[in-house]
Amino acid sequence: MNKMAPDVNAELKLKLYNLQRQPLPFHPLIMVFSTGSISAEDCVPMAREPMPAVGTPFSNNLASVFEEAVGLNPSIHDGAVIFSRESKDDEYRLCAWSMRIVSDRVPDHAEPNVGSAHNSALALSLAPGVDLCVILSKGGSVLFEKGSISRSGRH
């Protein structure tokens, strides 16, 4: 397992740690954080009707946002939730639900038999503008940054 680079925003990691410990309406929860937009070569939207609102800042109250979204459309749990910001000085805001990760980027190292969500998030973490990919589960979290992996909790 690779160690994560030390330049991940500590405040973001703390919010992720707190979110993972809250009762979430679905697992795993896949989140992607980017500065700028993510290319359609790496992520594509899945049609959902109705589609929950976007624009919510990434904060400690997101469990209720996810619960409301699942109440509106139970299929929203499928795919990644994207949080984006214009520049490194801005806050991350929810900008897309139910995104399919289609990145074909090839990391230097990939673990066998860990599932498509894991492998897709690892590949997407190499895309330009992607700051961090995260998979939250009941047992912990996996963070992917520039092809490196960091874990917390049980897996």
Q: Give the start-to-end residue ranges of the domains of the chain.
A: 10-153
Question: What is the pTM assigned to this prediction?
Answer: 0.90
Residues, the chain, total? 155
Comparing C-alpha atoms, which of 3, 19, 21 is closest to residue 11? 19
Are the beta carbons of 25 and 59 closer than 8 angstroms? Answer: no
CATH label, 10-153, candidates 3.40.50.2000, 3.40.50.2300, 3.40.50.300, 3.40.1700.10? 3.40.1700.10
What pLDDT is stored for residue 1 in this prediction? 46
Q: Are 129 and 36 in contact (CB under 8 A)?
A: yes
The residue whose two tokens read 């994207």 is 82
8 Å CB contact between 34 and 141 = no
d(CA 111, CA 58): 29
What is the Cα–Cα distance from 96 to 82, expressed in whole angstroms? 5
List C-alpha distances in Å: 24 to 6, 21, 66, 107, 138: 28, 8, 7, 30, 9
Residue stretches of the chain with pLDDT short of 50: 1-8, 155
